[in-house]
Amino acid sequence: MKRFVHLFPIAIAAVLLAACNGGQSAKTHKLITPVKFSDVTINDGFWSPRLQSHKDVTLKVCIDQIENQTGRIQNFRNAAAGSGEHSGIFFDDSDVYKALEGMAYSLQNNPDPELEAKCDEWIDLFAAAQQGDGYINTYYTLTGLENRWSDMDKHEMYCAGHLTEAAVAYYNVTGKRKLLDVAIKMADHMMTVFGPGKRDWVPGHEEIELALVKLYGVTGEKKYLDFAQWLLEERGRGYGTWSALAAENHYQDSRPVREMTDISGHAVRAMYLYCGMADVAAYTGDQGYIDALHRLWDDVVLRNMYITGGIGQSASNEGFTTDYSLPNLTAYCETCASVGMVLWNWRMNQFTGDAKYIDVLERSMYNGALAGISLAGDRFFYVNPLESTGSHHRQPWYGCACCPSQICRFLPSIGNYVYGVAADGIYVNLYMGNSASVKLGSRKVTLTQETDYPWDGAVALTVGCKRPFKSALRLRIPGWCKAYELTVNGQAADAPVEKGYAVLNRKWHDGDRIALNMSMPAEIVAADPRVKEDEGCRAVQRGPLVYCMEEVDNPDFAELCIEEDTSFDAVWESDLLRGVTTLSATVGDREMKLIPYYAWDNREAGRMRVWIPLSGE
């Protein structure tokens, strides 16, 4: 029986990684450059309906909540007018920025004059709310500017980071730079206050670091990269205004970043920190950062990650506790943290060319992150437990709405993760129906994928080119895949596997067709024996999907158990949960039915569990 924690071997590669989505003005040390989502047109039975729901439903929900149901946009109006009160939480500005980033990505995929006009309306408010010295934060503008920069955990730089990411995204999509100028002025303001020879500062919630690197990428101004690195170097040196215990248990501030060995503290903050470290290392080649990231990845994935790709065990710190302590009923697994795992592992893959990082990215994307939004696209999970008594449900919004706005910006950008280009060829990372334009040196190549993934392991990939070209195509063989067949134009292909990729190195002609057929049986998975919460239980996965048992399908929920050799039948049910492959089995004299974890809590309330008791235990 394969134990879950052994699915991911230890990292050994030490090349450098990618920095950001934005334009690049300086050479990076990265091995792989991602093909941007704007060059990947998704036409896929699984993802296209979700992207349509994002456009038609999720964006409208976010806009309505921001404009009508909460005071988030009113805070900007009040700040622009210089009067009125601030409502909500001190970091609510960030939700507006993240929603705008999602709107920008949607515009890239689906041009919409009405949506673009809404973006411009918001941007006008942001610009009007900015102070003369470049500072922008509605909380302090409305509660007392004299108190700004007085509390490291009031998320001023966190909000500024999300402003910057939204500004870079909107500039890249539309060419309009009004919001980019707002972000530049805020960054310049911060650099008049903080930096070498000025005030020390440790942002309580990381995010600004990776955003500054994006700003460097789009402007070419190295001062933003330098400021990002300065902020990283401030950590673990006693500058944080919190206790030593809090520094370890919440803020990633107990030791300098290049000395980190174990993940600690708030899960989302940790993910943003590691992304920032990776982005800075991409430009500087800092080996200390690189070594630390490999150590941290091992600790996260091998000892602190749920089978869903979720991370962060505890509600008390929204983060990590002790190794191998992975409770299911009380699992926190914030949606934002699963998206963070996608972002971090994406960077680690670009660093190393190792498919194991895409394995984790895929696990987090299809399970931990996708569970964060309802099938209708209008309700959200903040917390994603692996067991429920029937009382845990998605909500239309949250007082702390970081997760709805996070999903809003994540979904329309999934095309980012499909392909990459390197000196050693084209990397095919994810399998979904799409047509992509790939720049390979001085030529453009098209790749067209046809597949029913994740329901089926058959993938057809067609090459389009004006002239034949010589290159390697590297197709990821997922860690879950135990057997596969690979052909080119109907002939068995000789494709050695390197770092998890089957390598097809040949001269390609227009119309060449690659067929990858991956065996996709249901697999019964045991946890590492050190995970005591899963002792005497098993989980079930099929392909990239983790499955769960819901009470609505299993009236005798409490009595159901699983055996080591239980055989499951995979059945496509088009009228269930907007179309899913279910897994059914008979154990003893009882019938069991499982659904994909991402789809739970989309019907009537009831109990749910991922880890199912083992018969006889």
Q: Which amino acid is at 118?
A: K
427 with 412, same domain? Answer: no
CA distance linking residue 4 with residue 529, whole number of Å: 10
533 is catalytic: no
Residues in contact with 521: Cβ distance below 8 Å, sequence separation at least 6, in sequence order: 542
Q: Where are the alpha helices (DSSP H) in 254-308?
A: 267-284, 287-303
Q: Are residues 215 and 175 in the same domain?
A: yes
Q: Which domain holds residue 77?
A: 4-417
Pairing type for strands 537-542 and 425-428 reads unpaired
Are 514 and 544 in the same domain?
A: no
Last residue of a domain, one of 390, 417, 444: 417
Sort 452 into a burial class: Cβ within 10 Å, 0-12 / 13-18 / 19+: middle
Structure tokens at 262: 């174990």
Looking at residue 332, what is its pLDDT? 97
Could you give the residue ranges of the DSSP H alpha helices within 130-266? Answer: 138-143, 156-174, 178-193, 208-219, 222-233, 244-249
Task: Write down the pLDDT at residue 26.
Answer: 66
Q: Which two tokens stand for residue 371?
A: 């569970």
Is the distance from CB of 401 to CB of 98 less than 8 angstroms?
Answer: no
Q: Which of 495, 407, 469, 415 is nearest to 62 (CA)?
A: 407
Among candidates 287, 292, 210, which has minimal Cα distance to 29?
287
Structural domains counted in the chain: 3
Contact 611, 538 (CB under 8 A): yes
Residue 496 and residue 602 in one domain: no
**Which of residues 417, 444, 467 is at a domain's end?**
417
8 Cβ contact partners less than 8 Å away, ≥ 6 residues apart? 301, 302, 356, 359, 360, 479
- What is the torsional sign of CA 372, 99, 157, 36? positive
Total-model pTM: 0.95
Q: How far apart are CA 216 and CA 298, in angstroms?
A: 30
315 and 387, same domain (yes or no): yes
3-state helix, strand, coil in the chain (%, to 5): 40, 20, 40
Q: Which of these is catalytic: 156, 318, 334, 450?
A: 318
Give yes or no: residues 96 and 129 share one domain. yes
- Scan for tokens 């030593």, then name that residue: 244
In whole angstroms, what is the distance from residue 234 CA to residue 195 CA? Answer: 10
Predicted pLDDT at 19: 30
State the helix-helix crossing angle for 113-129 and 156-174, rounded to 10 degrees: 140
Number of neighbours of residue 446 by Cβ within 10 angstroms: 15
Question: Which residues, 6 or more positions from 196, have their beta carbon under 8 angstroms from its beta carbon?
Answer: 230
Q: What whole-number distance in Å separates Cα of residue 187 and Cα of residue 104?
A: 21
- 181 and 319 together in one domain: yes
Residue from 119, 402, 465, 537 carrying the catalytic annotation: 402
Instruction: Report the C-alpha gap between 177 and 168 in whole angstroms.
Output: 9
- The span from the CA of 516 to the CA of 183, in Å, is 45
Helices 178-193 and 208-219 sit at what angle, rounded to 10 degrees?
120
Residues 501 and 555 in one domain: no
**Residues 158, 93: contact at Cβ < 8 Å?**
no
Cis peptide before 454 (omega within 30 of 0): yes
In this structure, the answer to whether residues 467 and 593 fall within a common structural domain is: no
- Which tokens belong to 440? 């390979």
Phi and psi at 215, nearest 5°, equal -65, -40
The pLDDT tens digits for 242-295 are 999 999 999 999 999 999 999 999 999 999 999 999 999 999 999 999 999 999
Amino acid identity of 203?
P
Is 523 tagged catalytic? no
State the pLDDT at residue 441: 87
With a cut of 50, which residues of the chain have pLDDT below it? 1-25
- What CATH number corresponds to the domain at position 512? 2.60.40.1180
Shared domain for 349 and 200, answered yes or no, is: yes
CA separation for the pair 334, 355 (Å, rounded): 25
Domain co-membership, 41 together with 164:
yes
Whether residue 373 sits in one domain with residue 496: no
Provide Rg for the chain, Cα atoms: 24
Residue 602: per-residue pLDDT: 98
For 99-109, the pLDDT digits (tens) are 999 999 999 98
Both structure tokens of 88? 């909500």
Closest C-alpha among 315, 273, 340, 322 to residue 532: 322
* β pairing state of 497-498 and 491-492: unpaired
> CATH code at 82?
1.50.10.10
